[in-house]
């Protein structure tokens, strides 16, 4: 199928940051054939012509870190430091089933597509009672709605109590800690076998699916699991995704376990390579920044969740000053409560300004948009994130006649600081129109939300019970938190 989008204002996000005032895009199948001035557009026959004269065309946005099972828990979790918050979140997952994981992924995919996001990294862990802990259901959901996705199967083989700087738990707390360990962990080789099976069954880029290993975090995995997961990613030619030093207590686990920072230990294992992306990177050392940049790995910034959980600010200006390329994530919808990448961009471009008084190091609108387009694509080896010939046809059209772009002074600045996703009109993924007139094309939105509510309501008592059980851990985790901060 051959499609023409004509007379649009095109923000290419190519290496020249080229903006074409009156441009056209030609899509042949799932690839961009022409991106340039409308006057130079080929004069062939089209199967579809889209009038872009009142539109801004941008590459589809990329959410470089989230957790789709969290979508049904938005607004539920208390505002607590991560270690406390995580105890409630992981407990709630124990009440979920395959159906739950499917509709939760649908809900997040709908929000992302309608706000211009065309690719999602889903760092997935659900419930070990489900095959691949439910990750196959997330794949099915995102395929059903037409969202390009990278699903990183989350694995951990260290007991929970060995991953945080807490005294040995006893009594009810010890019982709940043991329950959490049983719910999350598995023997090293069993996990590696499961990753191989997951890859063999579901990895299919032609169907929008990239599967990859996703070790939970350095301190949550043995060296054998980390190196085994890295070997699988290299053999398959896919990304490797991991949480890194999200909180101060996590940062302390590096010296405690390895006599070195978490990142340096990962580097000593030979895992820090261009296919690695590291989520959060808050409590890292200046030398860690240099290593990540030198090795060509990609840090993923998650500003909203780091604020919501009080984790801190990642040294993103340091990465950029060192020549690094940074991805941007929304994180899960129960530590952010939104999957809107326009919100993430705006936060990323604002929150560092009061920390660094050298305004020359402040994150620019172009850098923030790059994080959400070409640099995010680079993190996962995807041929999208840029509007230029030969690239995958992931394109978003935003209406120009909205408050965000009236008057239009600087389109990139206004995309980052003024837009909130409400101007999104048309979204194409892999050359297919999946949002038209602001509405999904592949599923009825009212039916989707009704199905989420139908499945979720009976779960409420079980979720409440699981969270009440997890509450016995809060005093010990709270004590640990305040000890860590002196």
Q: What is the mean pLDDT of the chain?
A: 96
Query: 236 and 213, same structural domain?
Result: yes
Burial of 236 (0-12, 13-18, 19+ CB in 10 A): middle
Based on the domain organization, do 90 and 52 belong to the same domain?
Answer: no
Query: In this predicted model, what pLDDT tens digit does every residue of 308-362 receive, in sequence order?
Result: 999 999 999 999 999 999 999 999 999 999 999 999 999 999 999 988 889 999 9
Q: Is residue 139 part of a domain?
A: yes
- Cβ 113 vs Cβ 440: under 8 Å: yes
Pairing of strands 148-155, 209-215: parallel
Please check the confidence at residue 199 and state whether its pLDDT lies above 80. yes
Tens digit of each residue's pLDDT (9 = 90 or more) over 104-121: 999 999 999 999 999 999
* Residue 236: closest CA among 277, 202, 266, 259: 202
CA-CA-CA-CA torsion for 141, 143, 147, 152, nearest 10 degrees?
70
Domain end call among 332, 348, 379: 379
Q: What is the per-residue pLDDT across 253-294, written as a single tens digit (0 to 9) for each?
A: 999 999 999 999 999 999 999 999 999 999 999 999 999 999
Determine, yes or no, domain membership for 474. no
Domain span at residue 37 reads 2-59+387-440
C-alpha 298/C-alpha 62 separation (Å) is 14
CA distances 357 to 370, 428, 485, Å, are: 23, 40, 25
Contact between 240 and 275 (Cβ < 8 Å) = yes
Q: Give the Cα separation of 371 and 453 in Å (integer).
A: 34
Length of the chain: 486
Q: Tens of pLDDT along 213-246?
A: 999 999 999 999 999 999 999 999 999 999 999 9
Label the pairing between strands 31-37 and 298-301.
unpaired
Picking from 424, 440, 456, the residue at the C-terminal end of a domain is 440
pLDDT at 44 exceeding the cut of 80: no
Question: Does residue 153 sit within a domain?
Answer: yes
What CATH number is attached to the domain comprising 176?
Answer: 3.20.20.140
Looking up tokens 């004269």 gives 53
Q: What is the DSSP pairing of strand 117-124 with strand 61-66? A: parallel
Token reading at 190: 């069993």
Whether residues 104 and 234 share a domain: the answer is: yes
User: What pLDDT shows up at residue 440?
Assistant: 98
pLDDT value at residue 172: 87
Task: Check if the beta carbon of residue 13 is closer than 8 Å to that of residue 386.
Answer: yes
Separation of alpha carbons 240 and 217, rounded Å: 12
Q: Give the residue among 477, 400, 466, 479 at the shortest CA–CA distance from 73.
A: 466
- pLDDT tens, residue by residue, 90-105: 999 999 999 999 999 9
Are residues 207 and 81 part of one domain? yes
Residue 306's pLDDT is what?
Answer: 97
Residue 11 CB neighbours (<10 A):
23
Q: What percent of the chain has pLDDT over 90?
A: 95
Same domain, 90 and 49: no
Residue with tokens 């080929």: 42
For residues 45 and 179, membership in a common domain is answered with no
Q: Which element (helix H / strand E) includes 211?
A: strand 209-215
Residue 410: inside a domain, yes or no?
Answer: yes
pLDDT at 171: 87
pTM here is 0.97
User: How many domains does one find in the chain?
Assistant: 2
Same domain? For 244 and 373 the reply is yes
> Is the residue at 352 inside a domain?
yes
Nearest CA to 189 among 159, 160, 157? 157
pLDDT recorded at residue 355: 86
| Distances from the Cα of 387 to the Cα of 42, 235, 384, 403, 466, angstroms | 17, 30, 8, 25, 46
Residue 168 lies inside a defined structural domain of this protein: yes
Q: Is the pLDDT of residue 486 over 80?
A: no
Query: Which residues, in sequence order, are CB contacts of 290 under 8 Å at separation 6+?
Result: 322
CATH number reported for the structural domain that contains residue 14 in this entry: 2.30.40.10
On whether both 248 and 191 belong to a single domain, the answer is yes
Q: Which residue, 226, 235, 225, is CA-closest to 200? A: 235
Domain-located, residue 453:
no
Contact (CB, 8 A) for 479 and 81: no
Tokens of 242: 């991991």
For residues 188-207, give the mean pLDDT.
Answer: 98
């Amino acid at each position: 199928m051959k499609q023409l989008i004509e007379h649009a204002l095109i923000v290419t996000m190519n290496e020249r940051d080229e903006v074409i005032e009156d441009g056209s895009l030609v899509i042949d199948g799932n690839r961009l054939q022409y991106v340039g001035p409308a006057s130079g557009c080929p004069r062939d026959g089209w199967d579809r012509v889209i009038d872009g004269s009142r539109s801004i065309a941008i590459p589809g946005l990329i959410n470089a870190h989230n957790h789709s099972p969290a979508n049904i828990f938005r607004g539920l979790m208390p505002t607590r430091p991560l270690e406390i918050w995580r105890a409630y979140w992981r407990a709630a997952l124990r009440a979920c089933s395959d159906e739950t994981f499917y509709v939760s992924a649908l809900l997040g995919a709908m929000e992302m597509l309608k706000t211009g996001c065309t690719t999602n990294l889903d760092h997935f862990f659900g419930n070990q009672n489900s095959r691949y802990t439910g990750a196959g259901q997330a794949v099915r959901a995102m395929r059903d709605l037409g969202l390009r996705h990278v699903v990183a199967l989350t694995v951990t083989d260290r007991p929970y109590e060995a991953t945080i700087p807490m005294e040995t738990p006893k009594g009810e707390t010890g019982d709940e800690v043991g329950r959490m360990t049983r719910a999350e962990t598995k023997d090293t080789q069993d996990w590696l076998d499961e990753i191989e099976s997951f890859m063999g069954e579901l990895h299919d880029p032609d169907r929008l699916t990239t599967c990859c290993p996703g070790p939970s975090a350095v301190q949550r995995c043995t060296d054998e699991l980390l190196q085994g997961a890295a070997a699988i990613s290299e053999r398959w030619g896919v990304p490797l995704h991991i949480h890194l030093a999200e909180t101060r207590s996590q940062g302390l686990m590096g010296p405690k376990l390895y006599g070195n920072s978490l990142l340096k230990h990962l580097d000593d294992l030979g895992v820090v390579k261009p296919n690695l992306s590291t989520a959060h990177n808050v409590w890292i050392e200046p030398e860690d920044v240099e290593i990540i940049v030198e090795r060509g790995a990609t840090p993923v910034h998650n500003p909203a969740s780091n604020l919501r959980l009080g984790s801190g600010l990642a040294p993103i200006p340091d990465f950029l000053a060192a020549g690094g390329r940074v991805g941007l994530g929304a994180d899960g919808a129960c530590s952010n409560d939104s999957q809107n990448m326009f919100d993430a961009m705006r936060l990323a471009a604002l929150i560092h300004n009061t920390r660094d008084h050298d305004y020359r190091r402040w994150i620019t609108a172009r850098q923030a948009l790059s994080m959400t387009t070409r640099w995010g694509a680079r993190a996962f080896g995807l041929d999208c994130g840029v509007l230029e010939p030969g690239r995958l046809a992931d394109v978003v059209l935003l209406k120009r006649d909205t408050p965000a772009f009236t008057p239009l002074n600087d389109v990139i600045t206004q995309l980052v600081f003024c837009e909130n996703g409400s101007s999104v009109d048309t979204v194409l993924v892999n050359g297919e129109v999946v949002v038209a007139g602001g509405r999904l094309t592949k599923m009825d939105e009212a039916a989707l939300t009704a199905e989420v509510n139908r499945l979720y309501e009976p779960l409420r008592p079980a979720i409440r019970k699981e969270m009440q059980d997890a509450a016995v851990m809060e005093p010990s985790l709270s004590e640990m938190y305040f000890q860590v901060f002196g």
